[in-house]
Structure 1
Amino acid sequence: MTKEELAKMFDHTFLKAYATDDDFIKLCQEAKDMKAAMVAINSEPVKLCKELLKGTDVHVGAAISFPLGQTTLEVKLAETKQAIQDGADEIDYVINVGKAKMHDWDYIEKEMQEIVSLCHQHHIICKVIFENCYLTKEEIKQIALIAKKVRPDYIKTSTGFGTSGATVEDVRLMKETVGDDVLVKAAGGIRDWKTCQAMINAGASRIGTSSSLKILEEFEQ
């Protein structure tokens, strides 16, 4: 793998509540310089980041119902629609984890189906965030099986705001469950090349991290 190929796996991330325009200007410049896949942001600054990244192939990714996922499907769809109108190229939405804990799989499937369908109507990449730290292995597998049926573009381990982030074990389980039908994004706690490499080896095709520059530096060394 080359440095350029690794950079193309990064969703360069800034999702803090205190993010200002200056933070987004810096984030987008870094993403441009390294030629990252995407900047991962909340939905409000999508317009700004789209403008900052104009003329590049770096995508703007909006996080929906972030980080808790505890909004109604209608609200998630409205936020997704608005983000797409504002210029989002990719959507990362958080499932309703409570419904997953209740094993209301019909709800999880309906939510996934409607958000994925809305994204794909607009040719937008859709990623489904599980938030694995709150789920059992069997629950992770069940949601992955639903994804295998619904076909989002990616399933994703974590928001980075839960009690823990991505684990190699979870990435491997998710990838083994969906096979080649859906890609896997690892996110949360990936701050060095060693961890990043382990996630890739386990089956991750995208890496969500705010430590992209540090990881690339370590990779080069």
Structure 2
Amino acid sequence: MKSIEYSFLDRTTTIAAMEQFCNDAKERNATTITVPSMFIKKVKERLHGSPVKISTVIGYPFGWSPIEAKVAEAILAMVDGADELEIVVNIIALKNNDWQYLAKELNTLLAIIRKQQKQVCFVIEAKLLTAEELTRCCDLYGVAGIDCIALSTGLEKELPSIEMIKAGRRQLAERVAIKITGENISETTAQAYLAAGASRIGVFVK
């Protein structure tokens, strides 16, 4: 593959490990790296002069944080220098069909992030959803003007199926990228995801 993204969200990571991760990302010509928000400033310094973009996760890993908490987290991440924010959708609200809450969360965060001209991606765990829930998510988030929808957080052992990716691609506007994040994604698997309609592959590093 010509380009790849890396996520380093190990809960026991150290500054030294994060610095090495940044060095590796530059050597591998990563387009974007996703890091915990507390490391954004250090990572930005480490990547100074590099084209690698910095992304962080908001409401990670399950999206349970109240909207107000996600807003505060997003604002701080942007102040610290994040280029993109990946918002984890509240899975409890989703599984309870609280689409009004999800729409409020989406619209509130999107307005704040767009005001700062940052990229925004909303993250769902497709393997935990029914076909109907996945369709409704694509309907809600796809028309909102986001840049990307991620179909995995990287935490589940099983990644979204090829059919899930195809279903998402059929449902979403072409301008909305589909991202798949996971551990041990081989080049063969990545190429299959890209052929199915994904356009961003994130390798989950531990």
TM range (shorter): over 0.9
Aligned partners of 1:141 and 1:49: how far apart in 2? 36
Aligned partners of 1:148 and 1:192: how far apart in 2? 28
Aligned partners of 1:173 and 1:192: how far apart in 2? 22
Matching of residues 111-150 of structure 1 within 5 Å: 111-150=105-144
Matched, 1:58 2:52: yes
Aligned partners of 1:157 and 1:190: how far apart in 2? 16
Report the 3-state secondary structure (helix = DSSP H, G, I; strand = E; otherwise coil) of the residue aligned with 1:127. strand
Aligned partners of 1:162 and 1:114: how far apart in 2? 28
* Aligned residue number for residue 188 of structure 1: 182
The Cα offsets for residues 41-79 of structure 1, whole Å up to 9 and x where unpaired, read as 111111111111111110111111111111100001110
Matched, 1:67 2:54: no
Q: State TM-score, norm by structure 2.
A: 0.94
Indicate the structure whose relative CO is greater, using CA pairs within 8 Å and at least 6 residues apart: 2
Cα deviation, residue 88, structure 1: 0.4
The one-letter amino acid paired with 1:71 is: S
Stretch of structure 1 that moved more, 167-176 or 49-58:
167-176
After the TM superposition, list the runs of 4 or more consecutive aligned residues in structure 1 that deviate by more than 6 angstroms.
Answer: none
* Aligned residue number for residue 191 of structure 2: 197
Unmatched segments (≥5 aa) in structure 2: none
* Aligned residue number for residue 78 of structure 2: 84
Aligned partners of 1:193 and 1:163: how far apart in 2? 18
Matching of residues 147-162 of structure 1 within 5 Å: 147-162=141-156
Unmatched segments (≥5 aa) in structure 1: 212-221
* Aligned residue number for residue 206 of structure 1: 200
| 1:38 alignment partner, one of 20, 23, 32 | 32
- Evaluate the alpha carbon distance shift between residue 87 and residue 153 of structure 1 in structure 2; reply closer, same or farther with a 3 A threshold: same
Note if contact 1:109-1:150 (Cα within 8 Å) is conserved in structure 2.
no
Cα deviation, residue 110, structure 1: 1.4
What is the aligned residue count?
205
Cα deviation, residue 189, structure 1: 4.0
Report the 3-state secondary structure (helix = DSSP H, G, I; strand = E; otherwise coil) of the residue aligned with 1:44. helix
Aligned partners of 2:37 and 2:100: how far apart in 1? 27
Report the 3-state secondary structure (helix = DSSP H, G, I; strand = E; otherwise coil) of the residue aligned with 2:44. helix
Report the 3-state secondary structure (helix = DSSP H, G, I; strand = E; otherwise coil) of the residue aligned with 1:45. helix
The one-letter amino acid paired with 1:54 is: H
Stretch of structure 1 that moved more, 114-123 or 80-89:
114-123
Note if contact 2:85-2:121 (Cα within 8 Å) is conserved in structure 1.
yes
| 1:170 alignment partner, one of 164, 168, 183 | 164
Aligned partners of 1:100 and 1:210: how far apart in 2? 24
Aligned partners of 1:146 and 1:59: how far apart in 2? 27
